[in-house]
Amino acid sequence: MKNKRVVILSGPSCVGKGPLLAAVQRRHPHIAWVPLILSTSRKPRLKKHNSQYEVHGRDYYFLPRGLFATMNPQHFLVADVRSVVQAIDLDLLMEMLSEHDLILAELHTTLGRMLKDWIEKNRPDVEVIRIFLTPMSDGEIREKAQKEGKTCEETVYEIMKAKLQRRGEDAPEKIEDRASHAWGEIQAGKEYDHILVNPVGEDAINQWSDPLSPEAQRVMHEFVKILSEKS
């Protein structure tokens, strides 16, 4: 049995990763994970639900874009994520694994694949669990696309663009960038160990307040069940 675990959580922007994790922390404090903080080239975003900016060192390490090109690949995993650059500090990850049994990394699918490959090569004693959140099932996406006479890619783009607009935290060009990449991310997520359908994203933050809506509660229970399973 592998006693150390890294859980990789991915999904298109605004699908609800943050509200899900916050709900689990409130409702299941016995599941003690430590978040892996990424470095990013983007600026801190103003969070609409609390009118506060993201915090350096808590949400991300906000670094100049040019710095990422100088990062040693022996110590960092670096990847283009939509229009920004993100990186994982491998030395920090190793330090965290020496002190904690459960690490949770909220990652784009590109970095998720890179981290999985790195752990399997360098830390075979660590179990990697990949969980992907999608706004609709494949069947629901196809049905909606056929009904509206659109492609599945167009349908996903419109769904996620509407969610991002309702969230109201991004400039129009950022919304376009995030929405246009959602279909590709959903396709990449099909290789993950678990796929959870979550229709209540960050545009429906009220549904993640206590008491949780039925859909939010279902997604949380499915997520907690995966975290609670032993290899």
Q: Among all chains, which residue has been given the structure tokens 């509660």?
A: 217
Reported confidence tier of residue 50, pLDDT bands at 50, 70, 90: confident
Task: Read off the tokens for 57.
Answer: 């060192």
Q: Are strands 46-47 and 52-53 parallel, antiparallel or unpaired?
A: antiparallel
The H-or-E segment that residue 52 falls in is strand 52-53
Task: Check residue 106 and give its pLDDT.
Answer: 97
pLDDT number for residue 75: 98
The answer to whether residues 133 and 10 touch, using CB atoms and an 8 Å cutoff, is yes
Q: For residues 197 and 180, what is the distance between their CA atoms, to the nearest angstrom?
A: 19
The phi-psi region of residue 31 (left if phi > 0; otherwise alpha if psi is between -120 and 50; otherwise beta) is: beta
What local confidence, expressed as pLDDT, does residue 76 receive? 98
The answer to whether residue 204 scores a pLDDT higher than 70 is yes
What are 216's two structure tokens?
Answer: 């939010």
pLDDT at residue 231, as a whole number:
59
Residue 127: HSE in the Cβ half-sphere, 13 Å Cα cutoff: 14
CATH fold of 4-36+101-228 reads: Rossmann fold (3.40.50)
Q: Please, which residues bridge with residue 130 across strands?
A: 8
Name the average pLDDT for the chain. 96
Residues 6+ apart with CB under 8 A from 139: none
207 closest CA partner among 20, 9, 50, 25: 20
Those residues with Cβ within 8 angstroms of residue 125's Cβ, 6 or more apart along the chain or in another chain: 2, 3, 4
Q: DSSP readout, 47-100?
A: ETTTTEE--BTTTBEE--HHHHTT--TTTEEEEEETTEEEEEEHHHHHHHHHH-
pLDDT in tens, 162-183: 999 999 999 999 999 999 999 9
On the question of pLDDT at 144 being above 70, the answer is yes
What's the pTM?
0.95
The conformation of residue 60, written as its DSSP 8-state character, comes to B
For the chain, which residues make up each domain, given as ranges? 4-36+101-228
Mean pLDDT throughout 106-132?
97
Distance CA 35, CA 57 (A): 11
Across residues 105-131, what is the average pLDDT?
Answer: 97
Q: What number is the average pLDDT over the span 21-42? A: 96
Q: Is the pLDDT confidence value at 60 over 70?
A: yes
Tell me what pLDDT residue 222 has: 98
Q: Is the confidence at residue 158, as pLDDT, over 70?
A: yes
With pLDDT > 90 as the criterion, what percentage of the chain qualifies? 93
pLDDT above 80 for 49: no
| DSSP state letter for 71 | -
